[in-house]
Amino acid sequence: MSKGNIVLTKEMFVPAEDNFLEAETISAPSVSYWRETWRRLKENKLALFGLIIIILLVLMAIVGPYINGYSYFEQDFSKKNQPPNSEHWFGTDTAGRDLFTRAWYGARISLFIGLMAALIDFVVGVIYGGISAIKGGRTDNIMMRIAEVLFSIPYLLMVILMMIILERGIWPIIVAMTITGWIPMARLVRGQVLQLKELEYVQAANAMGAGTFWTLAKHMVPNMMGPILVNITLTVPTAIFAEATLSFLGLGIPAPEASWGTMASDSLGSILIGNFYQLAIPALLISITMFAFNVFGDGLRDALDPKLKK
Amino acid sequence: MRKLKVMALFLVVVTLLLSGCFNNSGTSEPTGTKDKPGGNNEVTEKIIRTNSGSEPGSLHPGKAEGSHDSWILDHTFVGLIKKTAEGKIVPGMADTWEQSDDSLTWTFHLKEGLKWSNGDPLTATDFEYAWKHVLNPETASVYAYQLYYLEGGQEYNAAEEGADLKALEDKVGVKAINNTTLEVKLAQPTPYFLEVTSHFTYYPINKKVQEENPDWYKEAATFVSNGAFKLTQWNHKENIKLEKNENYFAKDEIKLDGLFFTLIEDENTAWQMYQSGELDLVYPLPQDVTGKLMAEKDPIFHNGPDLSLYYLNINTKEKPFNNVKIRKALSLAIDRQTIVEHVAQGGQKPAYGIVPPGILDTKGDFQENSGDLFKEDVEEAKKLLAEGLAEEGLDKLPPFVYTYNTLEAHKKIAEAVQEMWRKNLGIEITLENVEFQVKLDREKAGDFAVSRGGWIGDYVDPMTFLDLWITDGPENNSQWSNKEYDRLIAEAKSTMDTAKRMKAMHEAEKIAIEEFPVIPIYFYTKPYVVRETVTGVYAPINRYPQMELADIQ
Amino acid sequence: MLRFAGKRLLWALVTLWAIITITFIIMHSIPGDPFAREGKMPPAVYENLTKHYHLDEPLYVQYFLYIKSLLVFDFGPSLKSSTLTVNDYIEKGFPVSLHLGIQALLLAVVLGLIFGVIAALNRNKWPDYLSMVLAIIGISVPSFILATFLINYFAVEWGLLPAATWSSWSHTILPTISLAMLPMAYIARLMRSSMLEVLNQDFMLTAKSKGLNKGFIIMKYGVRNAILPVVSVLGILAANLVTGSFVVESIFGIPGVGELFVDGIFNRDYPVILGSTIFYSMVLIFLIFIVDIAYFWIDPRIKVAGEEQ
């Protein structure tokens, strides 16, 4: 506000009209929360870039394995350990299999597992942690002790037990991944809710008779989206590598199918003899995925947070 | 202010934690050739630094189990006999020995003036005591069955609760006649008994020490042994140091001052420690590294035969694998040379038989005399598969599962075999990896179609492989049964006549290869690296690399 | 506060009992046997072994025998080692894992908070992007790859640091980094996001408008109000760090307790499974209790569970 160049005229000082009703109406067009979020998200170039990468990754996971005419399982020992070249764009592995095809085949499994694990951890974690903190007292105590029990029972033991009960496939992996995966999320959400529920606007909402779920969903989740999104972005790579651990126990996808996690852990020996690209390809793809999710997640968080509105 | 105090206290605690936490402070780290390979450092002590996979479960000869335990035991103890680098049996604690005409009674004459590492005299009584200790059911020794060759050995070990242990113990066929004479009675003639006594279960223990302190084997301070080296330092889960035993009867042959074992499980790290000059000898090596070193003919690389076989079990009780032609087709369609060269990469020998090389026949090598008992042939395999399917009334081989225990190396072989079967025979299979315990469980229950198997010989004789597949044998996972095979094995077991035994065993091996209860893949090797400055390390067929006679230039 | 602690201690005992019982049931219902071997083990040898370790008793008897020995803090023998008991393994291994874990935790928390705060203060400027790239690498490259890389360069190629083993402080540097990378990245991201939120709060603006020193505002009001999510996850994070990582410890040959959690299960070494589980849950329960107290210390408005008004 620059000083000095405002000319005051008499017309500026007319009495206000006594129209209280009009003052109460909302002048801006009524936009829903989510549409508003989308509008703000679109303005964030970096977040859009992240979104485009995610869409590209998903597209490649669908069509990538069919592009160059190799299959993920066909071996050709005369062509083993070839660095990336015009024939094999990502090179070949120790059995002479095409890494481009394997990488995109692996993307299907890894992306699906990563996203599902993140989604389930989010839903279960927010609900469990939220209820625990909102109800408080004895309920909170018991719910947190149950989480402790579940988190303390050896994870490998539960997975081995699960293998006897469940058939092989992708869903047992998801179950194994999320059986304790939601607990850190629940602890995080509980901590945030404990803090938020003492704030005036939440207490006001409660006083006005808002239910537990309503308070949680409408007033609290948007206000702790930041930490939640960070946690989700951590869940994705953790799940991708946990799949490799699970396949060690025999719960993962069976060989010769590929996933980024198993591709990375199998090619560990390649560091020792200098075939870095075998490890670099899955590691790079995971990093790119993480980059995309991070910038998109950040943008989403900003868009969701009304306080950051500029 | 209060916060500052808390911070200060915290820092003090952390500093204390960080400073006082290394078991090694105060104990000796070997100097040796510490720097980069090739670096010309002054050698103060002749110590070979190597790695042993994990903390030994036990260094008591009667309770030990597994190759990591035995590697240390081989360097700290010595039994009645020893074996040379070429596999020849030479005197150990025993100077001479003779057997009775019926081959049931063996008399060993110990050397004079033998001593334990603590200076105690070593007598025949120590052997008698040690062997009976292993067989005592209360000792609960895993390898007790290695002593079932002794008369009354199995009866004593299998004693029911409440049985008269003392009486059973007295019936065990081992007796110290005097300080230097040990008389051994066997349950039945055993042609390879002398060879068996080199197994660590047959090593002596110091009777006086064991009786005074039954926990003597748990710490270096109380450890007493009779071999080339004595245990002088054992930081549990970290490292083990052996030093030359001045009381060893052949101490003049020992050029080294000691051995230093770092306990590290990860093969990659062990190899990296070799590269960074922290180790001098590394075994085993990562697969990719072995392939590279072998291709480059690196002078640090050494390879030796190993008494073991990699094979696939086929469940012969399950249709259609009851059909010999189908089993044979599966075997003939595998390209073993490719697996050995490109997958296993350790210079392994493709297996066209069951008995590995390195075992003496009446003349020459048993495996060489057998020759290749079958030839890979894709056309023949296709023909056999078609015939077999017709006999079973099938038009296509139903999809089946190949089970293996989780390990990178097994996975690669499984993938290669799957591809070969797909390309050569047009059959689709699923691979399934399970935890080792689960695999054992499934095999015992007969709940598998094809499963990965491996066998390491207990002693250097074809029998250790051939008696696996007798009807209802404990490791006969294929549940195969052949009367003629059983007869030949029984015949070979009942005679001391080498020519007759070997002939029977050759015939038995041929039957096994005609019927393929298992598909042999390759015979293992023992690739290891050792610095060029180290000489005299050798790898016997059924042992880890031996460093007893090594020297550092 | 004392009443609160006492109450939580009682709860801890109930929780522990539930953990022990459920673990006991699961471990006896999965396939496998501690004495299963590839190859021959005559029945007599097997019977001698099971009798020696009381595994021939009915399960409920084994259960009560175990609980009884627990009352005198005896975790029993290891079925795979006749040299070390479960108590020995924990006594020898825990100081090592604790040392490594605390180093990694300090590194992760200190650097994580610094990176997080700097990133938030420089939102959408290069320090923010740099810290994001570092965090993405930390999150996307798991410890087993990082560890192998670190050894390959720092020990093998450049010869700056020893490759492995636990013999001096310089031996702890590489494993500490391998272990700290992921929690550091996580804390940095978490701190950045909650810091951003706090920076826009009214009290921050008020403090600013009052003309208080910027650094003082950030430390006194910013960090303190933003740290809560970090504290929330710190309990579980710290429990996992100080009880040893199987991967990092086995790659670097560190004699910690990390291997117990994995080897115990693969070997079906029942006393080791139970012992390591109890050990882990005690650490976890303790640290979560500390976190709950820390909540109160950070934000006195928070009422912690069990503490009734």
Closest CA in chain A for residue B415: A256
Distance of CA B143 to the CA centre of its chain: 13
We report the CATH number of the domain holding residue B50 as: 3.40.190.10
Residues B289-302: tens digit of each pLDDT: 998 899 899 999 99
* pLDDT at C252 (0 to 100): 93
Query: Considering only CB atoms, which chain A residues are within 8 Å of C305?
Result: 132, 136-137, 140-141, 144
* pLDDT at B35 (0 to 100): 41
* pLDDT at B36 (0 to 100): 39
Token pair in block for residue C24? 């006991």
Q: Are residues B398 and B463 in the same domain?
A: yes
Token pair in block for residue A10? 């008499």
- Per the structure, the complete domain to which residue B292 belongs is given by 12-57+230-304+528-552
Token pair in block for residue B106? 């063996």
Closest chain C C-alpha to B236 CA, distance in angstroms: 8
Closest in A80, A247, A256 to B415, CB measured = A256
Query: Is A274 within 8 Å of A267 (Cβ atoms)?
Result: no
Alpha helices in A19-136 (DSSP H): 20-24, 33-43, 45-63, 99-135
Q: Are residues B159 and B292 in the same domain?
A: no
Closest CA in chain A for residue C307: A137
- Per the structure, the complete domain to which residue C142 belongs is given by 90-308
A269, B288: Cβ pair inside 8 Å? yes
What are the structural domains of chain A?
Answer: 88-304 (1.10.3720.10)
Query: Is C82 within 8 Å of B63 (Cβ atoms)?
Result: yes
We report the CATH number of the domain holding residue C281 as: 1.10.3720.10
| Structure-token match 């051994």, residue found | B184
C51, B140: Cβ pair inside 8 Å? yes
In this structure, is residue C132 part of a structural domain? yes
Q: Are residues B191 and B273 in the same domain?
A: no
Query: Is B310 within 8 Å of B522 (Cβ atoms)?
Result: yes
Q: Are residues B512 and B535 in the same domain?
A: no
C44, B137: Cβ pair inside 8 Å? yes
Q: Are residues B477 and B366 in the same domain?
A: yes
Closest chain B C-alpha to A160 CA, distance in angstroms: 9
Token pair in block for residue B259? 């051995």
Closest in B14, B154, B474 to C40, CB measured = B474
In this structure, is residue B242 part of a structural domain? yes
Measured from the Cβ of residue B319, the count of other Cβ atoms closer than 10 Å reads 12
Distance of CA B188 to the CA centre of its chain: 25
Q: Are residues B299 and B339 in the same domain?
A: no
A227, C26: Cβ pair inside 8 Å? no
Q: What is the DSSP letter of C303?
A: P
Token pair in block for residue B425? 């025979």
Residues C172-231: tens digit of each pLDDT: 999 999 999 999 999 998 898 888 888 877 777 787 777 777 777 777 778 888 888 898
Query: Considering only CB atoms, which chain B residues are within 8 Å of C166?
Result: 22-24, 238
Residues B177-227: tens digit of each pLDDT: 999 999 999 998 888 899 899 999 999 999 999 999 999 999 999 999 999
CA distance C223 to C157: 41
Neighbouring residues of B183: CB distance < 8 A, sequence distance ≥ 6: B105, B106, B107, B108, B174, B175, B176, B177
Query: Considering only CB atoms, which chain C residues are within 8 Å of B473?
Result: 40
Closest CA in chain A for residue B338: A77
List residues of chain B with CB under 8 Å from any CB of chain A. 268, 271-272, 286-289, 291-292, 338, 341-343, 406, 408, 411-412, 414-416, 418-419, 430-435, 438
C253, B144: Cβ pair inside 8 Å? no
B432, A250: Cβ pair inside 8 Å? yes
* pLDDT at C174 (0 to 100): 95
CA distance A84 to A289: 21
Q: Distance of CA C222 to CAs B502, C116, C204, C227, Å?
A: 85, 12, 7, 8
Q: Are residues B312 and B294 in the same domain?
A: no
Query: Which SS3 state, helix, strand or coil, does residue C270 take?
Result: helix
Q: Are residues B538 and B509 in the same domain?
A: no
Query: Is B356 within 8 Å of B457 (Cβ atoms)?
Result: yes
CA distance C294 to B450: 57
Query: Considering only CB atoms, which chain C residues are within 8 Å of B17?
Result: 98-99, 102
* pLDDT at C220 (0 to 100): 75
Query: Considering only CB atoms, which chain C residues are within 8 Å of A264?
Result: 142, 145
Q: What is the DSSP letter of A271?
A: H
Residues B23-49: tens digit of each pLDDT: 544 444 554 444 434 334 445 789 999
Residues (pLDDT < 70) of chain B are 1-43
Query: Considering only CB atoms, which chain C residues are within 8 Å of A144?
Result: 288, 305
In this structure, is residue C26 part of a structural domain? no
* pLDDT at A173 (0 to 100): 83
| Structure-token match 């109890």, residue found | C278
Chains within contact range of chain B (3+ C-beta pairs < 8 Å) = A, C
In this structure, is residue B100 part of a structural domain? yes
B278, C168: Cβ pair inside 8 Å? no
Closest CA in chain C for residue B262: C165
Closest in A141, A265, A305 to C305, CB measured = A141
Q: Is the dihedral angle over the CA atoms C271, C276, C279, C280 positive or is it negative?
A: negative
Closest in B17, B263, B473 to C102, CB measured = B17
Residue A41 has pLDDT above 90, yes or no: no
* pLDDT at A129 (0 to 100): 92
| Structure-token match 């077991």, residue found | B493
Which runs of E-coded beta strand occur in B14-117?
Answer: 47-52, 81-83, 89-91, 94-99, 105-110
What amino acid is encoded at B531 in this protein? Answer: R
Query: Considering only CB atoms, which chain B residues are within 8 Å of A248?
Result: 406, 433
Which of A2-16, A215-229, A245-259, C257-271 is the most confident on average? C257-271
Closest chain B C-alpha to C124 CA, distance in angstroms: 34
Neighbouring residues of B131: CB distance < 8 A, sequence distance ≥ 6: B147, B150, B172, B174, B202
We report the CATH number of the domain holding residue B319 as: 3.10.105.10
Residues A126-160: tens digit of each pLDDT: 999 988 988 888 888 899 999 999 999 998 888 88
C266, B437: Cβ pair inside 8 Å? yes
What amino acid is encoded at B510 in this protein? Answer: K
CA distance A137 to A194: 11
Interface probe with C: pick from A157, A220, A310, most Cβ of C within 10 Å: A157
Closest in B292, B408, B415 to A95, CB measured = B415
Pick the more confident residue, C306 or B437.
Answer: B437
B158, C268: Cβ pair inside 8 Å? no
Closest CA in chain C for residue B19: C169
Q: Distance of CA A250 to CAs A244, B519, C142, Å?
A: 10, 24, 20
CA distance B161 to B163: 6
- Average pLDDT value over all residues in chain A: 82
Residues C43-101: tens digit of each pLDDT: 888 888 899 898 888 999 999 999 999 999 899 999 888 899 999 999 999 999 999 99
Peptide bond into C77 cis (omega under 30): no
In this structure, is residue B98 part of a structural domain? yes
A190, C193: Cβ pair inside 8 Å? no
Query: Which SS3 state, helix, strand or coil, does residue A92 take?
Result: strand
Q: Are residues B300 and B419 in the same domain?
A: no
Question: Which helix H or strand E contains A270, and what residues bound it?
Answer: helix A269-272
In this structure, is residue C202 part of a structural domain? yes
In this structure, is residue C32 part of a structural domain? no
Closest chain C C-alpha to A231 CA, distance in angstroms: 8
CA distance C256 to C101: 10
Closest in A247, A254, A269 to B430, CB measured = A254
Query: Considering only CB atoms, which chain A residues are within 8 Å of C262?
Result: 156
Q: Are residues B319 and B461 in the same domain?
A: yes
* pLDDT at C307 (0 to 100): 47
Q: Are residues B265 and B136 in the same domain?
A: no
Query: Is B326 within 8 Å of B384 (Cβ atoms)?
Result: yes
Residue A71 has pLDDT above 90, yes or no: no
Chains within contact range of chain C (3+ C-beta pairs < 8 Å) = A, B
Q: By C-alpha distance, which of A136, A223, A238, A226 is closest to A183? A: A238
Q: Is the dihedral angle over the CA atoms A75, A79, A82, A88 positive or is it negative?
A: negative
Q: Distance of CA A77 to CAs A56, A93, B525, Å?
A: 32, 9, 22
* pLDDT at B25 (0 to 100): 42
Closest chain A C-alpha to C174 CA, distance in angstroms: 17
A226, C144: Cβ pair inside 8 Å? no
Q: For chain C, how many structural domains are there in total?
A: 1
Closest in B271, B415, B433 to A272, CB measured = B271
Q: For chain B, how many structural domains are there in total?
A: 3
Q: Are residues B501 and B548 in the same domain?
A: no
Measured from the Cβ of residue B131, the count of other Cβ atoms closer than 10 Å reads 26
Q: What does DSSP say about strands B429-434 and B400-405: parallel, antiparallel, or unpaired? A: parallel
Closest in A95, A247, A269 to B268, CB measured = A269
Closest CA in chain B for residue C260: B237
Closest in A168, A247, A269 to B286, CB measured = A269
